[in-house]
Amino acid sequence: MAERPVRKALELPLGPTTQPPNRLTAQVLDERLRGTRFVSLTPQRVLNSPKSTGMDYWSLNPYVGCEFGCSYCYARYTHRYVVERAHDAGKLTDAEFADYRGAHGWEAFEKRIFVKEHVIGALDVDLKHVPLGETIVIGTATDPYQPAERKFKITRAVLKRLARCEGLSFGIITKSPLIARDADLLVRLQERNELQIHVSLITADAALARKLEARSPVPAARLRALGKLVDAGVNAGLIIAPVLPGITDDVAQLDTLFAAAKRAGARFIHAGPLRLYPAIRDRFLPVLGEHFPDLVPKYQRAYAGHGYAPRDYAKALSRRIEKLRKKHGFKNQSAMFERYRPAKMPVQGELELRGSLP
């Protein structure tokens, strides 16, 4: 018998100030040769409410930190937050804190991965607070199918539990072909719920991807996984995010991606420009300087004082994406950025990257 989430308003926001602390045991579960460690984390809550994040959906991340190490990743602050909170609560020694934080605060995100073990008890409790019809997005702050998932299978355990629900809407965002392993569960999940799988790919150019994403799977593998999901009957498409001004936003590259997605059977395509929050700059700007030095001052001007792409740039990109959607026969599905948009959009700055779009 399918389980129906209760129609119940949240009594308490599950945000940073009210959420019970996670239990960080500092128990190392595994270690890779190149020094990456996987550390046990027992969460007291696993679903982040819309109220606590400012987004208009619930979110769930089976891991904290991500081995793929994309230079533009906006989620590094989540790792730092967990480490600093555990240290403040006296659960980490100063030496552990230094190790789990890293010299600059961004390296540890890629090399100290927290594994949310025993997640199902917390998920059972949290699901009671999710009203029917609401959306839960998996993989907003780390990739749920990063290499750790092959061993720990936390995402698979979560999907098994969610497959008992009905009347909800689920989104999953991943760069990993490992998601095809769970096609059986995804088919079950979408029998009684809405489901959108977003396979994330910013370029079909493998050499360019390697410059920008330290350890992500090659584009062809992601497109093959997308094809496998669609063949299994799963509602899956491509998400091109972030589109990087002056690097991946030209018509030729985007057209290649659209064509590849079409061949793979993608049901939809979403795209959005780079968000350059302060937490991203430390990691992304040096990579930009190494490979595209001429673009550094342009980015610094365009994103001065705010994290969002300039409004005119975002509009021009949106028009370009729409033309490509039409050309390749995709419907105008703005659901991803309509439905998953931040609740509070900050004021946009001056357009400085106009030169990269006609």
Choosing from 70, 223, 225, 271, the residue that interacts with ligand SF4 (CB under 6 A) is 70
DSSP annotation of 244 reads P
Does residue 73 bind ligand SF4 (CB under 6 A)? Answer: yes
Phi, psi of 40, rounded to the nearest 5 degrees: -70, 135
* Residue number with CB closer to ligand SF4 (43 or 69): 69
Q: Is 5 helix (H, G, I), strand (E, B) or coil?
A: coil
Judged by CB under 6 A, the stretch of 23-31, 62-70, 177-185, 318-326 that binds ligand SF4 is 62-70
- Name the one range near ligand SF4 by CB under 6 A: 50-58, 65-73, 324-332, 335-343: 65-73
Judged by CB under 6 A, the residue of 117, 143, 149, 249 near ligand SF4 is: 143
Interface with ligand SF4, residue 182, by CB under 6 A: no
What is the per-residue DSSP string for 315-353? Answer: HHHHHHHHHHHHHHT-----HHHHHTSBSSPPPP-----
Q: What is the 3-state secondary structure (H, E, C) of 15-60?
A: CCCCCCCCEEEEEEEEECCCCCEEEEEECCCCEECHHHHCECCEEE
Out of 101, 129, 175, 283, the residue judged to bind ligand SF4 by CB under 6 A: 175
Q: Which helix (H) or strand (E) holds 86?
A: helix 76-88
Q: Binding to ligand SF4 (CB under 6 A): which residues in 253-282?
A: none
Q: Which of 36, 142, 196, 248 binds ligand SF4 (CB under 6 A)?
A: 142
Looking at residue 27, its amino acid is Q
Does position 66 interact with ligand SF4 (CB under 6 A)? The reply is yes
Walk across the sheet containing 112-116 and list its strands. 23-31, 37-42, 112-116, 63-64
The distance of closest approach from Cβ of residue 5 to ligand SF4 in the complex, given in angstroms and rounded to an integer, is: 27
Q: Does 59 bind ligand SF4 (CB under 6 A)?
A: no
Q: Please select the residue that binds ligand SF4; options are 57, 58, 68, 308, rule is CB under 6 A.
A: 68
Does residue 69 bind ligand SF4 (CB under 6 A)? yes
- Cβ proximity to ligand SF4: between 126 and 143 the closer is 143
CB of 59 to ligand SF4, least distance (A): 12
Dmax (CA) of the chain: 60
Which residues, including other chains, have CB under 8 Å from residue 78's CB and lie 6 or more apart? 61, 64, 141, 142
Contact residues toward ligand SF4 (CB under 6 A) are: 66, 68-70, 73, 75, 142-143, 175
